[in-house]
């Protein structure tokens, strides 16, 4: 079934933002890639900023489905943790360190700085949502007795967000996939206080 014009523009925006960056992608290029006129664009979106914000929401709804699935009670807390780590690798790091997807949305936030309040607010909301899922994961692990005593679970959930995005930025410069596959899980295990007997092998070769 063909996509409607609005969805086509959202999908195109995601594709261009991920393959390039926010500042280098203009309305003309989006319209050309999507095969629509500028009139159609402005019928659905007031501006490039508006498109970015709605594309971010569109992307979040896709990721939310994956997060809901991995946090399902049918998975043990340890399975939830390993699937969460696998999701980070598949969505943010990939298999080719030279073409690492990273997070185009947070890169866009860094590029625009504080000049675009709506972009900043949209990304803050995205971070808050992500931290809530992190918190649910920590709570599940804590309830199962997999963690050392947790003093401030909400803080750990926020630190997980910070660690992941910092790790992605570092990996994009270091360009060492072998180390990335070993280091990311260990860093998360240490950060959340996972008891060492529950650490899985860090050999994540493709």
**Residue 35 domain-assigned (yes or no):** no
Please tell me the total count of domains within the chain. 1
Compare 155 and 165 and report the one with higher pLDDT: 155
**Residue 37 domain-assigned (yes or no):** no
**Residue 9 domain-assigned (yes or no):** no
Q: What is the pTM of this model?
A: 0.84
- The mean pLDDT of 169-192, rounded to a whole number, is 87
Structural domain range at position 164: 53-198
For residue 192, report the phi and psi dihedrals to the nearest 5 degrees: -85, -10
- The mean pLDDT of 148-168, rounded to a whole number, is 92
**Residue 33 domain-assigned (yes or no):** no
Give the domain CATH number at 94. Answer: 1.10.357.10
**Residue 185 domain-assigned (yes or no):** yes
**Residue 91 domain-assigned (yes or no):** yes
Give the integer Cα–Cα distance in Å for 156 and 97.
Answer: 27
The three-point CA angle 83-146-183 to 5° equals 50
């Amino acid at each position: 079934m063909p996509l409607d014009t609005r969805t086509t523009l959202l999908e195109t925006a995601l594709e261009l933002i991920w393959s390039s960056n926010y500042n280098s992608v203009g309305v003309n290029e989006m319209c050309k890639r999507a095969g629509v006129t500028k009139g159609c664009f402005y019928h659905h979106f007031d501006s490039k900023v508006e498109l970015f914000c709605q594309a971010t929401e569109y992307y979040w709804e896709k990721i939310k489905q994956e997060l809901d699935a991995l946090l399902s009670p049918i998975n043990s807390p340890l399975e939830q943790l390993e699937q969460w780590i696998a999701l980070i690798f598949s969505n943010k790091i990939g298999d080719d360190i030279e073409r690492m997807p990273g997070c185009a949305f947070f890169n866009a936030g860094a590029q625009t700085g504080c000049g675009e309040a709506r972009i900043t607010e949209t990304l803050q909301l995205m971070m808050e949502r992500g931290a809530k899922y992190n918190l649910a994961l920590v709570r599940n692990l804590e309830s199962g007795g997999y963690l050392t005593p947790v003093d401030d679970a909400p803080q750990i959930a926020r630190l997980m967000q910070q660690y992941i995005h910092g790790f992605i930025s570092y990996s994009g410069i270091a360009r060492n996939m072998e180390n990335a596959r070993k280091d990311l899980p260990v860093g998360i295990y240490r950060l959340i206080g996972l008891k060492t007997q529950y650490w899985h092998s860090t050999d994540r070769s493709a």
